[in-house]
Structure 1
């Protein structure tokens, strides 16, 4: 009887032998199918991740987020931080990246995220503890091979237990067994009714500066003129290997969509695609470059509308929705924006509402 544990008994590197072995081998799967999730389930995501200044600066540099408070100690002190914090986009991407292996590595459309709230700054050296709770599971009426899962996720400081960031996200997740459906509905299981085209304002205004008063004045002027405060940002950023594969992997995001070109060759995108939080961070960086941002507060109704692949260029468009002078400290007021990222073909790829504290005029 042949001892197959003997390395001399079988030449696994022989092409014909290896091909035959590969056909017989069972694949040790990663990630979970839709059937794994049940409403109310709680998951603790390991191994966690240690936030670093290097990781934060790498993220900021690649995505064009140049706010000095996240680079320099003097600017951080002026902004009321205890030290130089990590950038909130990096924090959010790390918290979500850690969850991918358990929640969405099997693939499926990222339908959206909302209730993104930053509870307190995070600093280099913080070790993350990330947990998720299944909020809802349902069948996709449009895609019988997928289900739809919504999770609440929060990232905490593992040592102190302090909440750092929390959010709710929804994904389509492959089913192990297809469901019986009527085949109706849209990709996101909407009502299938196309919304009416809204009346567009004849005039679009841009603020004259980057401070809170500039946004507030522009809104007052727009209301008087039946206009809207909306403008595009000049900068663009072309997606390269570091953005598409490097940054997601640095956050422990194991989704094959971002780094396995072989698997993605026959996918609808035809190639690896960008991590949504990279696309989002680039668009927000374009917007922040035209703002005197003080602190990030929260995000609502974030959606990812189309694939972003290697070579695509991301631009930003912003609409100002509201200004609240009483929602922040004396040195800042709250502004609510709608941000849209779009590519070189003017196709929207991301949208979301953001509330940030914007510095007042000195």
Structure 2
């Protein structure tokens, strides 16, 4: 009688056994289809605090009741970065667990009001478009519109559109997608002067933009803080959002990948860089994000830094104690190459007579 746990017998059994694959292939997605992502998850205080602490997001309104009350919240709410990561994490098993390149995300929006801890999240995605990839015949390109809803009220608490390459079951013939200019590079045309705001209030950004106006100048600067990626940020945080992609926790599967190792969840990289930026401003409320892209992988031991460019400022916020600022944020590592970029719209607190300058 065969002893299945005998090492030799078990090795032969593994050779003969088929592997039940997880996730969907490109051919499984049809434009107009809706996918309900189970199980969703409960937006717990401890998970929110863990995300904020590990990514250096230290806005006191999301930690302390007195600061929350000053912002008009009944209690410290769920941070938008964790809310977005949890919404996307719940979709991974159905949408992108089989792998493929994250091509971008846009139209990230949050509700005007706070999302309280304990909210039970229900997530759904609509297939917006499917297309062939002219450069990678083994992949197709899928765009989804995803909404995270409060399971009790059905209110949308987070929404966005994202696009991924998704593996095909069978490659297709393509023209290769290359052009004669693919390898051409232009000399970057950068402003002659970079200006830094004097502080982190709305008026400081307005003043810096006015100083740059009608000059060959940009309001652009680096942030001093960095965060080296470790086992908590690379594996623990994505798994806590139900992000089951092997890229973040299966070292054996990633050994032959271009990264040679597991890689950080893009939303951890993003949130860390945004935290660096927020530490140099008086953030009042996050409004939304557009044109988000992830340019390169981040592996354990890499240190994430941030660079900010201020695009515009308008006195049109939802609260008269703040103004609206649009930023372009770029995350980069010690290799000094971009790993994330995105356009952020946020309400920034105005300077009050009793506030100290910083």
* TM-score greater than 0.5 by the shorter chain: yes
SS in 2 for 1:46: strand
Select which of 166, 183, 192 maps to 1:202.
Answer: 192
CA deviation vs aligned residue, 1:125-167 (integer Å, no higher than 9, x gap): 0000100000010111111000110000010100011110100
Give the aligned partner of residue 46 of structure 1.
Answer: 38
**1:266 has 2:256 as partner:** yes
CA deviation vs aligned residue, 1:175-231 (integer Å, no higher than 9, x gap): 001011111249xxxx94857444211110010011000000100011143311000
Select which of 323, 337, 348 maps to 2:313.
Answer: 323
Q: Provide the rounded CA distance (Å) in 2 between the counterparts of 1:195 and 1:171.
A: 26
Give the aligned partner of residue 113 of structure 1.
Answer: 105
Q: Provide the rounded CA distance (Å) in 1 between the counterparts of 2:229 and 2:240.
A: 16
Q: Provide the rounded CA distance (Å) in 1 between the counterparts of 2:338 and 2:46.
A: 31
172-181 or 197-206, which deviates more: 197-206
How far is the alpha carbon of 1:61 from its aligned partner?
0.5
SS in 2 for 1:47: strand
Q: Provide the rounded CA distance (Å) in 1 between the counterparts of 2:253 and 2:337.
A: 25
Select which of 25, 34, 37 maps to 2:17.
Answer: 25
Q: Provide the rounded CA distance (Å) in 1 between the counterparts of 2:72 and 2:326.
A: 22
Give the aligned partner of residue 141 of structure 1.
Answer: 134
How far is the alpha carbon of 1:20 from its aligned partner?
1.1
321-330 or 210-219, which deviates more: 321-330
How far is the alpha carbon of 1:90 from its aligned partner?
0.4
**1:159 has 2:152 as partner:** yes
Pairs within 5 Å for 1:1-40: 9-40=1-32
Pairs within 5 Å for 1:1-362: 9-119=1-111, 120-185=113-178, 192=182, 196-362=186-352
How far is the alpha carbon of 1:124 from its aligned partner?
0.8
SS in 1 for 2:165: strand
CA deviation vs aligned residue, 1:298-336 (integer Å, no higher than 9, x gap): 100000000100100000000000001123310000000
Q: Provide the rounded CA distance (Å) in 1 between the counterparts of 2:329 and 2:38.
A: 32
**Residues 255 and 238 (structure 1 numbering): CA distance in 2 closer, same or farther, change over 3 Å?**
same
Q: Provide the rounded CA distance (Å) in 2 between the counterparts of 1:217 and 1:246.
A: 41
Q: Aligned-pair RMSD on alpha carbons? A: 1.3
Kindly tell me the number of residue pairs found equivalent between the two proteins. 350
Q: Provide the rounded CA distance (Å) in 1 between the counterparts of 2:121 and 2:97.
A: 20
Structure 2 unaligned spans of 5+ = 353-358
CA deviation vs aligned residue, 1:262-281 (integer Å, no higher than 9, x gap): 00000111110000000000
272-281 or 327-336, which deviates more: 327-336
Q: Provide the rounded CA distance (Å) in 2 between the counterparts of 1:123 and 1:91.
A: 11
Q: Provide the rounded CA distance (Å) in 1 between the counterparts of 2:114 and 2:171.
A: 43
Q: Provide the rounded CA distance (Å) in 1 between the counterparts of 2:182 and 2:151.
A: 44
